[in-house]
């Protein structure tokens, strides 16, 4: 019988950790790697988890390999503290461990609940992540939001709700902005390390590209007002990332006389996608008018 270990990284998660741990109590071993200053560690210990301390790393990736090293299971399930595993998915995962010995890892969809609603579009679904794997077959780099290195053969679980990790993501705009400030600083540093030299055009092109890819390509308009707001917030995050890269270059002045050309390009991109989506948007407008 294959043994399953759950590995969880925590940072001030006293409000979330009980729900998370309750959802994985069916595994053979729970490892919590904690970087908190609140009562997360105490709660986890009381609930039977094996708890290890780790220096604060600002994001989870640097601590994941450490957590995996503390596990003793044949299979590892990675769960974030603000996530939970439904009973149905737990049954599926147990079956994977027993019946798929030739496969070494699985990508699981995530059901992102943002501002109180499951985001079914906006590039938030199916949000595949490698979360279940044989020990020794998956390793993370220390880069933020990085895709891990894998060995062997993997498989995606079908993108349906019963297969999805439930992710209680952003619960407030303040929480989004706090994380954005933290993440964009790290991302700006990584940009500079790759040899990137700030170009003012990126402050316009990159955010617009992010908005268009989410709102039109990702069909965020199907998620209603939340879809629009999240598309704008993600675009704003892109802009802040590049502004922080400029800051790291000591706010060196650049010639922006060609701003009109860059803006025109962005407007043309917007019009292109607006026209492609106009059929659907027209139907939406018609429905609104009928309701009025």
55 lies in the same domain as 163: yes
206 lies in the same domain as 100: no
pTM for the model:
0.89
**Rg for the chain (alpha carbons), in Å?**
22
Please say which residue of 168, 183, 206 terminates a domain: 168
pLDDT in tens, 241-282: 999 999 999 999 999 999 999 999 888 888 888 777 765 555
With contact defined as beta carbons under 8 Å apart, do 10 and 42 qualify?
A: no
pLDDT at 143: 83
162 lies in the same domain as 273: no
Low-confidence ranges of the chain (pLDDT < 50): 284-286, 288-290, 292
59 lies in the same domain as 144: yes
pLDDT in tens, 112-137: 999 999 999 999 999 999 999 999 99
Beta bridge partners of 118: 113
pLDDT at 289: 47
- Provide the token pair at 109: 């969809």
Half-sphere CA count of 54, side-chain side, radius 13 A:
27
Helices (H), 47-161: 61-69, 87-99
Q: What are phi and psi of 163, to 5 degrees?
A: -95, 0
pLDDT at 269: 83
Please say which residue of 168, 195, 215 terminates a domain: 168
The parent domain of residue 80 ranges over 4-168
**Domains of the chain: total:** 2
pLDDT at 127: 97
């Amino acid at each position: 019988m294959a043994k399953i270990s759950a590995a969880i990284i925590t940072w001030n998660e006293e409000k979330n950790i009980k729900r998370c741990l309750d959802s994985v109590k069916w595994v053979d071993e729970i490892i919590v790697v904690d970087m908190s200053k609140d009562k997360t560690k105490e709660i986890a210990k009381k609930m039977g988890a094996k708890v290890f301390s780790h220096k604060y790393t600002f994001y989870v990736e640097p601590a994941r390999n450490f957590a995996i090293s503390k596990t003793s299971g044949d299979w590892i399930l990675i769960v974030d503290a603000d996530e939970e595993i439904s009973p149905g998915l737990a049954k599926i995962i147990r079956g994977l461990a027993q019946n798929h010995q030739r496969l070494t890892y699985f990508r699981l969809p995530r059901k992102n609940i943002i501002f109180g609603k499951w985001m079914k579009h906006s590039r938030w679904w199916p949000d595949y992540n490698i979360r279940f794997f044989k020990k020794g077959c998956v390793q993370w780099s220390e880069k933020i939001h990085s895709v891990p290195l894998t060995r062997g053969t993997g498989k995606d679980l079908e993108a349906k709700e019963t297969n999805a990790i439930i992710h209680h993501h952003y619960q407030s705009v303040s929480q989004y902005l706090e994380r954005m400030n933290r993440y964009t600083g790290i991302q700006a540093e990584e940009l500079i390390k790759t040899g990137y030299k700030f170009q003012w055009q990126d402050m316009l092109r990159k955010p617009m590209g992010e908005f268009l890819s989410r709102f039109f390509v990702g069909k965020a308009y199907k998620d209603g007002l939340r879809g629009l707001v999240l598309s704008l917030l993600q675009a704003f995050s892109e802009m802040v990332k590049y502004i922080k890269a400029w800051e790291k270059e000591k706010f060196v002045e650049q010639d922006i006389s060609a701003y009109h050309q860059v803006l025109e390009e962005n407007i043309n991109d917007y019009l292109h996608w607006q026209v492609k989506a106009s059929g659907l948007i027209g139907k939406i407008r018609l429905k609104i008018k009928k309701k009025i």
